[in-house]
Amino acid sequence: MKKKDFIFTIGLCLLMAIIWVVGELVMGLWIAVKPSAHIFWMVGIVVVTLAVNIWHSFKEDESDLTDPKREKYERKVQKRKKNKE
């Protein structure tokens, strides 16, 4: 796992934990709900967190597809070709 993926996962978990706590406070203080609603809320938060994390892991990052050293070499070659012309 790359550092940026790890940071994304930690950030996502923190965000979802905050959303979960706010939802629990709203359900506990202002909205009267059945006790099972708290369980569905927690399961929903976990499912959304996992879905977003899996989607992010499958999304291809453009920086992973290119090699910086290869790009530098190609720029150098292109520059030489332009200078010869």
Interval 54-74 mean pLDDT: 76
The whole-model pTM stands at 0.66
pLDDT, tens only, 41-50: 999 999 999 9
Q: Which residues of 52-61 are buried (b: 16+ CB within 10 A; e: fewer)?
A: ebeeeeeeee
Place 61 in a pLDDT band, splitting at 50, 70 and 90: low
Q: Are 12 and 52 in contact (CB under 8 A)?
A: yes
Domain range summary for the chain, segments of one domain joined by +: 3-84
